[in-house]
Structures are given as structure tokens and as C-alpha cells.
């Protein structure tokens, strides 16, 4: 436990800690100072008085005197890791420490974020020192709140400081308790009691610290145990291009209908989904106004119904097929490692030139109302608007 001050990881931890301190100080709108300590909690727009309690609250962790464990490798699967497999992984030569957690991906405003349900008392040791040692962060998580990357949290939170975890209309909402940098490739964490509420697979991931052993060497040993179908990735600021990734949404009926696929990172911000998932789920079919579209099979009937109603209402001229920017487009959000919902084929972009991000846009509100009736959320309603964007947020029976 004392290795973090020297060698391969010590410098990284100190740099990350310094960066975190500056980030947290900025949360309160003041210039960064060393004394008093920075406030990790969100600004008054999401007040502490709004903090939820009750069913998702667990016992607050005690303070820690020593830290930290470097998060070097993440093993993850759609299903829970078998107990005997986890035990074998912990005995792999070069593994210094491990931490079990539940991992899932939730769709929030066209971006798929990775969230962990964790034991705050033990998981905190795998975060950078500045995060691990801020007691209030982990008290907030234990109290049932969310700890999230600051930039992402500010983009996604509503006026009361809540984030809806899932693109279903009835997806659970959680209050942001702290802005705090997490383990690489995790955007946010909640405590383990949220796992059932969010439909997460309990214990489907394992963080691994390799101490002075090369993570590349340990990854090969771990991959031999878990097999090629399970993701074993070396953690860092960028995705491990050699690892198989798994896209599995949670958070409601739409996520269940969409299904799960594995993919590899391709160039130019794109991904390459497994061919069997694409063959089973992605269809090219005609719809009114737009003509031929390529989308997920569960969305096409709802898209067809919405456009047919737009046509019947005499509003077809409000949707320009020449300004349609597509549906199924397997890629990351620009500048991130977060998948877009276009990767799942459950979002469309309409009338693009006049409906750019951050603007009110020119989308006819009667068209918007029809799309909402047929199970679509509209990006024009978001805090950072995207008025060209419609995404499936509930299943609607089409007769």
C-alpha cells in the first residue's frame, strides 16, 4: 500500500491529485487555493438540501490513512464474474490488489456513460489520491448520491442537480453529490445499493492493480483465464484498442430491447460492432418522407409511425429529407470514449443545418410533439440543446 510515492505510478498520482484539487476548487467558482481545502460538492444550483436518502443509503465509510492502489486493468463482462474465476484472477502472478464492482452503461442525452456501483469504503483506494482522500465525496456516495466527472456532470444535470440514468422516460434519477475524477473509463459511481434499481449485473467487473509488474504482462495472464469473449483492458485516458469492448445498456425497456454487442475500436472515432449483432438488429427499410433509413429494428416501426403522422398532419414539408444525417452510425461522441446512441441505431438527426447544438433551432414544434407521442425524446429539451436529434426513449406499440 505504500508504493504510490515513487516509481511508475507515483508521478502519475501526484499530477492527477494536483489536477483534481484545481478542478474541485473551481466547483465553488473561486480561484484555486491550498487553504482552505477545496469543496468537492456541486454549486448552489444543486443544493445539499436536495440530497436524497433512504433506500439507497449505506453506512458511511471511515477516513483512510493510507492510499492508494493504481487502477491498472479492468476486467468486465455482461454477466457476473463467477466466484471461482474471481478467486483465480486474484492469485495471478503480478496482481497486487483487486476490487469487485458492478458496471453498466446508461444513455444520457445521446451519450453512453459508464457507471459503477461500488463499495465506497474500498473502491476509493483505486482512485487518484486527491479523490480517495476527500471524505465528503465518499460520504455523499454512501448517502445515495452520484460522484461524477465535473465537466460531464455540469453538462447533464438538470436545474436541481439530478441526472436521469437511462434514456427511458421512467429511468431512475440520482442527485449529484460530488464532482470527482474516477478510475479511468468510469464516468461516475454510485453505491452498491443502486445496482438493482439500475438493472445492473452485480459483480460483473474487477479492477486490478499490478504494482510494479507491467499491466501488459498481467493482462495476457488474465485473458488466458477469462477467455477471449470477456473484456480485459489496460486503463488509461484512452481506450485500449487491443481489448474487446462490450456495449450493454441498462436503465429500462428500451435498453433491454436494443441488446448487447461487442466491438473493437476503429480509426477516426469509429467502432466496429460484432457482425452477428448488426445482422440480427440493424435493418434498412423505407419510411415516409425520408425514404430508406438504416436503424435498429425495434425503432423503425415507431419512426415510420411518427413520420406517417407528420405527413397526415400536412407537415411533411417541415422535415427535409436532404438534411437527414442518418441513424445507425457506430462511433464515439467527438473527443470522448463515450458511445453515441447512433451506435445502437436508436437515434435520428433531422434538418441538420438549422438545428445545431447549443441553439434553439428551427424544428417545427408540431413535428416535435408528434415524435414525442411515438416514443422519442427531443434534444432541444436538453440543458445543452441538440435540436436536430431525436432518440427512442420508450417502446410504443404500433398497430
CATH topology of domain 266-271+280-392: Muramoyl-pentapeptide Carboxypeptidase; domain 2 (3.30.1380)
Distance CA(189)–CA(208), nearest Å, equals 17
Distance CA(275)–CA(10), nearest Å, equals 42
Q: What is the gyration radius of the CA atoms in the chain, in angstroms?
A: 22
Sign of torsion, CA 70 73 78 83?
Answer: negative
List phi, psi (to 5°) of 111.
-120, 140
The predicted pLDDT at position 189 comes to 98
* Statement: residue 383 has pLDDT above 60: yes
Give the 3-state secondary structure of 319-338.
Answer: CCHHHCCCCCCCEECCCCCC
In terms of phi and psi (left: phi > 0; alpha: psi -120 to 50; beta: otherwise), the region of 129 is alpha
* Statement: residue 398 has pLDDT above 70: yes
Higher pLDDT pick, 48 / 310: 310
The predicted pLDDT at position 127 comes to 94
Taking Cα atoms as reference points, which of 144, 128, 159 lies closest to residue 23? Answer: 128
Please enumerate in sequence order all residues whose Cβ is within 8 A of that of 270, keeping only pairs 6 or more positions apart, or say none: 330, 331, 332
Q: What digits encode the pLDDT tens for the residues 119-168? A: 999 999 999 888 999 999 999 999 999 999 999 999 999 999 999 998 88
* Statement: residue 259 has pLDDT above 50: yes
Distance CA(36)–CA(34), nearest Å, equals 6
Please enumerate in sequence order all residues whose Cβ is within 8 A of that of 393, keeping only pairs 6 or more positions apart, or say none: 167, 168, 169, 254, 375, 376, 377
pTM for the structure as a whole: 0.78
The predicted pLDDT at position 40 comes to 67
Half-sphere exposure at residue 215, Cβ-oriented, CA atoms within 13 angstroms: 19
Q: What digits encode the pLDDT tens for the residues 163-215? A: 999 888 888 999 999 999 999 989 999 999 999 999 898 999 999 999 889 89
Evaluate whether 239 touches 337 at the Cβ level (below 8 Å): yes
The predicted pLDDT at position 65 comes to 79
* Statement: residue 5 has pLDDT above 50: no
Evaluate whether 130 touches 184 at the Cβ level (below 8 Å): no
CA angle 262/348/163 to nearest 5° reads 75
Evaluate whether 80 touches 23 at the Cβ level (below 8 Å): no
Mean pLDDT of the chain: 86
How is the chain split into domains, by residue range? Answer: 52-247, 266-271+280-392
Amino acid at each position: 500500500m505504500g508504493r504510490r510515492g515513487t516509481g511508475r505510478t507515483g508521478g502519475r498520482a501526484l499530477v492527477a491529485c494536483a489536477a483534481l484539487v484545481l478542478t474541485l476548487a473551481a466547483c465553488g467558482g473561486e480561484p484555486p487555493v491550498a487553504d482552505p481545502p477545496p469543496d468537492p460538492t456541486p454549486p448552489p444550483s444543486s443544493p445539499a438540501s436536495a440530497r436524497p436518502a433512504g433506500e439507497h443509503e449505506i453506512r458511511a465509510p471511515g477516513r483512510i490513512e493510507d492510499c492508494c492502489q493504481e487502477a491498472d486493468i479492468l476486467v468486465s463482462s455482461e454477466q457476473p464474474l463467477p466466484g471461482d474465476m474471481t478467486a483465480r484472477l486474484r492469485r495471478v502472478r503480478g496482481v497486487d490488489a483487486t476490487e469487485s464492482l458492478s458496471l453498466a452503461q446508461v444513455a444520457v442525452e445521446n451519450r453512453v456513460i459508464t457507471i459503477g456501483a461500488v463499495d465506497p469504503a474500498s473502491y476509493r483506494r483505486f482512485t487518484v489520491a486527491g479523490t480517495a482522500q476527500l471524505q465528503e465525496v465518499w460520504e455523499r456516495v454512501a448517502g445515495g448520491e452520484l460522484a461524477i466527472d465535473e465537466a460531464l456532470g455540469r453538462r447533464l444535470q438538470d436545474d436541481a442537480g439530478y441526472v436521469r440514468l437511462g434514456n427511458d422516460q421512467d429511468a431512475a434519477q440520482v442527485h449529484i453529490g460530488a464532482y470527482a475524477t474516477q478510475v479511468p473509463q468510469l464516468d461516475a459511481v454510485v453505491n452498491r445499493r443502486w445496482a438493482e434499481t439500475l438493472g445492473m449485473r452485480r459483480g460483473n467487473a474487477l479492477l486490478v492493480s499490478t504494482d510494479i509488474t507491467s499491466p501488459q504482462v498481467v493482462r495476457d495472464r488474465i485473458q488466458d483465464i477469462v477467455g477471449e469473449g470477456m473484456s480485459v483492458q489496460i486503463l488509461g485516458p484512452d481506450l485500449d484498442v487491443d481489448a474487446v469492448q462490450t456495449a450493454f445498456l441498462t436503465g429500462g425497456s428500451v435498453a433491454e430491447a436494443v441488446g448487447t454487442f461487442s466491438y473493437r475500436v476503429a480509426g477516426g472515432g469509429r467502432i466496429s460492432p460484432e457482425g452477428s449483432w448488426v445482422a440480427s438488429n440493424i435493418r434498412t427499410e423505407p419510411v415516409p418522407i425520408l425514404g430508406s433509413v438504416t436503424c435498429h429494428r425495434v425503432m423503425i416501426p415507431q419512426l415510420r409511425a411518427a413520420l406517417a403522422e407528420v405527413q397526415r398532419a400536412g407537415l411533411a414539408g417541415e422535415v427535409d429529407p436532404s438534411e437527414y444525417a442518418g441513424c445507425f452510425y457506430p462511433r464515439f461522441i467527438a473527443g470522448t470514449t463515450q458511445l453515441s446512441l447512433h451506435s445502437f441505431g436508436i437515434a435520428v438527426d433531422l434538418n441538420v443545418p438549422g438545428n445545431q447544438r447549443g441553439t434553439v433551432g428551427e424544428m417545427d414544434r408540431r413535428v416535435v410533439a408528434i415524435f414525442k407521442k411515438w416514443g422519442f425524446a427531443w434534444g432541444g429539451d436538453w440543458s445543452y440543446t441538440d435540436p436536430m436529434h431525436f432518440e427512442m426513449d420508450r417502446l410504443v406499440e404500433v398497430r
